[in-house]
Amino acid sequence: MSDQEVMITMKDVNKWYGDFHVLKDVNLNIKKGEKVVICGPSGSGKSTTIRCLNHLEKFQEGSININGTELIEDVKVVRHIRSQVGMVFQHFNLFPHLSVLENLLIAPTWVHKKPRKEAIETAMYYLERVKIAEQAHKYPNQLSGGQQQRVAIARCLCINPEIMLFDEPTSALDPEMVSEVLDVMVELADEGITMICVTHEMGFAKKVADRVVFMDAGQVIEENEPNEFFDNPQSDRLKLFLEQILSH
């Protein structure tokens, strides 16, 4: 693969919380437009890995390159990277004091300095896309969990990101609302945006992912394209994991 195609390179990334070694030599190469699902037991470092990519977590060793920019501890570099990377959180993290529309306007108007009128048009377009435009003037707490998560996705799309990170986007939702969020994510995947998704939704992984990565105890144990990953797991650890999550 050529250099232009590479979107994310993680090279030997190591991270410690105090003495606790959370990421051990994590290597990950993701091409432009690729959909990658990261799974693994809790505490395996999957969330930490993607949180390193937009510098919500610092790492001590190794290097990360995002779309040609080396991630270093410099305010401007970090802001530059964050302006191309959208993140969707487990608990939505919408701003409760702002209406849905205002939530979507914050980054375009303050970070990307777009005129307000243009930003409103973009925001309404994406609210339409996630099928929630009629709620634009409500406050986040007046919406259901699934609706809030869709607003959170729209909020990321408003900055027109190169990369979307999803950190367990459906884990905090009522079971009835998981599918409405996954539907939006599947649509998004069809459009060629680079996606990295930490999730336990294996159906989503099978349907959408180009590659599935399995992590345990801070290491990448195994990565493969979805059919091979689920049908022909190589390591015992992954076999056990799949047995446990797919057993019922």
Min separation Cβ 225 and another protein, Å:
29
Work out whether the CA dihedral 154, 89, 57, 51 comes out positive or negative: negative
Q: DSSP 3-state assignment of 84?
A: coil
> 66 has which bridge partners?
8, 69
Task: Answer for the pair 63, 11: CB distance below 8 angstroms, yes or no.
Answer: yes
Q: DSSP 3-state assignment of 107?
A: helix
Residue 111 engages another protein in binding (rule: CB under 8 A): yes
Closer Cβ to another protein, 59 or 89, answer by number:
89
Stretch that binds another protein, among 13-21, 31-39, 89-97, 123-131 (CB under 8 A): 89-97
Residue 83 engages another protein in binding (rule: CB under 8 A): yes
In the list 96, 115, 192, 203, the residue contacting another protein (rule: CB under 8 A) is 96
Residue 148 engages another protein in binding (rule: CB under 8 A): no
CA dist 86 and 154 (Å) reads 10
H or E stretch at 124: helix 116-129
How many Cβ atoms from other residues are within 10 Å of residue 76's Cβ? Answer: 8
Stretch that binds another protein, among 2-10, 24-32, 85-93, 205-213 (CB under 8 A): 85-93
Stretch that binds another protein, among 35-43, 62-70, 91-99, 176-184 (CB under 8 A): 91-99
Residue 87 engages another protein in binding (rule: CB under 8 A): yes
Min separation Cβ 2 and another protein, Å:
29
Residue 15 engages another protein in binding (rule: CB under 8 A): no
Min separation Cβ 247 and another protein, Å:
31
Cα angle 103, 198, 225 (rounded to 5 degrees) comes to 130
| CA torsion, ordered 60, 65, 70, 71, to nearest 10 deg | -40
Comparing CA positions, the residue from 191, 221, 225, 220 lying closest to residue 205 is 225
In the list 6, 16, 24, 56, the residue contacting another protein (rule: CB under 8 A) is 56
In the list 26, 155, 212, 241, the residue contacting another protein (rule: CB under 8 A) is 155
Q: DSSP 3-state assignment of 145?
A: helix
Residue 150 engages another protein in binding (rule: CB under 8 A): no
CA dist 145 and 126 (Å) reads 18
Stretch that binds another protein, among 31-39, 90-98, 120-128, 202-210 (CB under 8 A): 90-98
> What residues line the site for another protein (CB under 8 A)?
54, 56, 75, 79, 82-83, 85-87, 89, 91, 93-97, 106-107, 110-111, 139, 141-142, 155, 159
